[in-house]
Amino acid sequence: MTNWHQLVEDHAKRTGQADLPSATVAELAAHLEDLYAAARADGTSDADARQLALDALAEAPLADLARRARRRPDSRPGATAPEPASSLWTGLVGEFRHALRQMKRAPSFAAIAVVTLGLGAGAATAIFSIVDAVLLRPLPFHEPDRLVTIWDANPERSLPRERISPVNFMDYRTIAAFDDAAAWWRPEVNLAEPDKDPVRVDTIETSANLFHMLGVSPQLGSGFPIEDTLHNRERMAIISDRFWRQQYDADPAIVGKTINAMDGPPYTIVGVMPPGFHFPDEVDLWLRLQWDLTRHSRAAHFMEGVARLKRGVDADAAARELSALTSRLATDYAATNAGWTAHLTPLLDDMLGYYRPALIVLMGAVAVLLLTACINVASLLLARAGARGREMAIRAALGASRGRLVRQMLVESLLLAAGGTLAGAIGAMAILNIALASMPVAIPRMANAGLDVRLLAFAALVTAGTAILFGLVPALIVSRTRAAEALKESGRSSTSARSRVWNRALVVAEVALASMALVASALLVQSVARMMESPIGIVPDGVVTTDLQMEVRAGVEGWNVIEQQYANLLESLRRQPGVESAGLTNALPLTIGWRLAFGIVGRIAPSHDEQVQAMFVSAGDGYFETMGARLVAGRLFDARDRHDTEPVMIINETMARRFFGDSDPIGQQISSLARQVGPLGRNLAGPVPHRVIGIIADIQQAPIGQAAEPVVYHTTRQFPFAAMAIAMRGPDASRLADAVRAAVKETNPTLALGDIETMEARLKDAAAEPRLLMFVLTAFAILTGLLAALGVYGLLAWVVNERRRELAIRLALGAKPAGLARLVTGQGLVLSIAGVAIGLVAAQALGGVLDDVLFQTRTSDPGAAFTAGALLVTAALAACAAPAIRAARVEPSEGLRD
């Protein structure tokens, strides 16, 4: 028996290839043995057959073979399976190399997957970080969960949230559910230090117990002393850390010094609050309440209040007790309290206002985006699973164990997930920084938002989970199918068909999610547009406004001085170049005036009956002309109406309709009963009848969306305020700003001007919050829509590739290329329309979430649904284009390959 193995080794040694790998030696030996055996079987003699084999060996120069053989993986003959017996570590390194090679082979796949995962994780993390900072972190007060704000409401008059009246507050304060309650109002305060420019300061005059109740102490000084009464005539002030630094250079000896306000004697500073404390919103100056809350009016709703619930008492129980009290008050003081209720809101919800529902909606949008991103990656991975499945089958056939295949796919998925997480972290930081830097409106507590690593980990977990789950599909397909089968079916396998069904379902889901997001954003766009279009009774183009405050002097003569100063200012202003008209008011459009009871001489006796109440606004001559308000009947104020002539009024159309009916209001007389309503002006001291001289079309004074109210306009000459707003009209806004500065300089250089703003900007500000939500939501919706379109594209591109052969055969059988393109486009269209339909139905079902952020827009609005559907179908059609073109360009010969 010949030792062929030995023969080959000897030959190798002789020809200088002693290191020929033993696997090759074994292979050659087997070959020679076969050669010998075949010759013997043909009847060749043993010696000849042996010589034949030896000749074959001799003519083989082994050098080239040895070089190639040494490069082969299984150069050791012992291993029956080609798996190198490697350590886990070197195995993993190999898998990573393989995975990287796979990614390089399909870079666009890897890029799309990483960007999609990053987008989803990044946006989710950024928004969650903001939501966490704004909504979820507790307020920096002692046991903030027990703090509630108190608001009055009058459902009958559709006033859902009104300030409280001081006398009612003193009753509310006594209910058992409260530990304590504090109230404040917002006076206009100008500080006038002798050697400094006058400054306007955001100020509240508050009951002395506020800080104690919140559980926050000043960083300097002892604050307001706790006394039996909530007020004290001794003037005391607390300032914010910001104000202390800006105005007093952080003077450590500030406590005990005084602040000079224009409204009277100086205030003694008794405290500096810690940095960041500006309760209730952006306040820098807290004055101690100087007057008795009980000695005011139950009808005057101008105060805000906060209460601390007793420990263990929940807000509902407190609300029930308060409700019992308000119904008692409504009976006992029917004239002022009938129809009025009060309600409690958790302090945090109240501070957030519109942003709470907005952030919840936004979080929903982010969840939709994250889900879409996950579905997208899942469908991408599934689409590849068909191709990868065949590769896996081959590897399995070559002896790779199931475990090894799963490990390989796991490593590939992990690599994708890691890339996605990295992209997500970068994306989250970018989005967060952009959001913080470019936020056009102040969202409470938002400045505290920082990238939260836990949240990033959460988002990364979700996306990585998706990548891993769906990345394993090819390996699982192989585990379930016999390798040979997978190889034989090669691309037309049942597994491929199965994953195609799944893939379609995923794409439909994606489109459905995107259409939900688009419906929501379309609704918001519509809502904001409606807000901007809603009639407010003026022509805002070309109007610029600002506000200022004159120094208050005691007595009637003081008011005459103020009136004269304003008259001088206006006269100077109207002379400035670029000014067409100018006028004064104490309440610009979208600003609420004083709501007061009144009587109509000869028809309605003046009383405190709440039902006969109107908003009182002071507006000077020139104001209505400047605002472009429409005079319905009678005349506007002019120079004839002075403090020493007959008191006059202009009423709005709602007032005329509601209280005069068919009779002509012009010439009739209205009197107001208001007393003690602050620095209101001399003519309100008693029920002085005012003659109605004109009717003006309604100007919206309440926030956009609230029903029109009866409004009475006095002339500023008869009803002056120290703090007034100036409205000017002219062709050029910047010249108007210069004009008002020049007029102030000319007539009263010590006056502090407020912000100079166009009326249009003010109107935009009124819709700033929904507008912001609209922009962010639209951005998310567009992203989601793009992802969905990408999903449609991915699916179709894959289908066209898979069905190349079928398309080629159709072409060979006479189909037109355009027909093939239509076929593919039709498929994409059917899927997107199905997705849109499901999405629109789901949007209807879930639309209630949006109710709190929409203005005069219903979630069932067909326009929004149509817009969203049309946009998505268009995007899907665009996504069909490339695969359709590819289908039309299939060569008939492609059907013959493979």
Partner 1 sequence: MGRTSIDEAKKGSAEILILALLDEREATGRHGYEIGQLIETRTNGTLRFTLTSLYSTLYRLEDRGWIRGRWVEKAGTRRRRYYRITDLGRRMLAAQREEWSRFFVALDQAASLGIKA
What are the residues binding partner 1 (CB under 8 A)? 23-24, 26-28, 30-31, 33-35, 38, 56-57, 59-62, 64-65, 68-69, 71-72, 74, 77, 79-82, 390-391, 394, 397-399, 484, 487-488, 893, 897-898
Name the residue nearer to partner 1 (CB basis): 189 or 400.
400
Residue with tokens 């002892």: 222
What CA–CA distance (Å, rounded) separates 344 from 321?
11
Considering only CA atoms, which of 371, 685, 704 is closest in space to residue 506?
Answer: 371
Amino acid identity of 409?
A: M
Name the residue nearer to partner 1 (CB basis): 11 or 595.
11
What CA–CA distance (Å, rounded) separates 163 from 157?
14
Q: How far is the CB of 25 from partner 1 (least distance, A)?
A: 11
Query: For the chain, what's the residue count?
Result: 898
Q: How far is the CB of 803 from partner 1 (least distance, A)?
A: 18
Name the residue nearer to partner 1 (CB basis): 486 or 733.
486
Q: How far is the CB of 895 from partner 1 (least distance, A)?
A: 12
Going by the DSSP 8-state scheme, the letter that residue 1 receives in this structure is -
- Taking CA atoms, 519 is separated from 312, 850, 854, 867, in Å, by 43, 11, 13, 8
Q: How far is the CB of 394 from partner 1 (least distance, A)?
A: 6
Considering only CA atoms, which of 178, 451, 138, 213 is closest in space to residue 321?
Answer: 178
Q: How far is the CB of 436 from partner 1 (least distance, A)?
A: 51
Going by the DSSP 8-state scheme, the letter that residue 676 receives in this structure is S
What CA–CA distance (Å, rounded) separates 289 from 166?
12
Q: How far is the CB of 806 from partner 1 (least distance, A)?
A: 17
How many helices and strands (H and E) does the chain possess? 27, 24
Question: Do 542 and 729 touch, CB atoms closer than 8 A?
Answer: yes
Name the residue nearer to partner 1 (CB basis): 105 or 311.
105
Name the residue nearer to partner 1 (CB basis): 56 or 363.
56
Name the residue nearer to partner 1 (CB basis): 34 or 281.
34
Q: How far is the CB of 86 from partner 1 (least distance, A)?
A: 17
Name the residue nearer to partner 1 (CB basis): 200 or 492.
492
Q: How far is the CB of 71 from partner 1 (least distance, A)?
A: 6
Name the residue nearer to partner 1 (CB basis): 805 or 822.
805
Label each residue of 627-671 as H, E or C: HCCCEEEECCCCCCCCCCCCCEEEEEHHHHHHHHCCCCCCCCEEE
- Taking CA atoms, 641 is separated from 636, 650, 699, 706, 711, in Å, by 10, 12, 22, 32, 19
Residue with tokens 């001088």: 568
Q: Write the DSSP assignment of 205-234 as a string of letters.
A: EE-TTHHHHHT---SEE--SPP-SSS--SS
Q: How far is the CB of 530 from partner 1 (least distance, A)?
A: 60
Helical spans, DSSP H, in 662-816: 733-747, 759-766, 768-802, 804-812
Name the residue nearer to partner 1 (CB basis): 12 or 509.
12
Q: How far is the CB of 423 from partner 1 (least distance, A)?
A: 31
Q: Regarding beta strands 689-696 and 648-652, do their DSSP bridges make them parallel or antiparallel, or are they unpaired?
A: parallel
Residue 823, Cα to own-chain centre: how many angstroms?
A: 40
Q: How far is the CB of 493 from partner 1 (least distance, A)?
A: 13
Name the residue nearer to partner 1 (CB basis): 643 or 804.
804
Name the residue nearer to partner 1 (CB basis): 33 or 180.
33
Going by the DSSP 8-state scheme, the letter that residue 199 receives in this structure is E
What CA–CA distance (Å, rounded) separates 658 from 652?
10
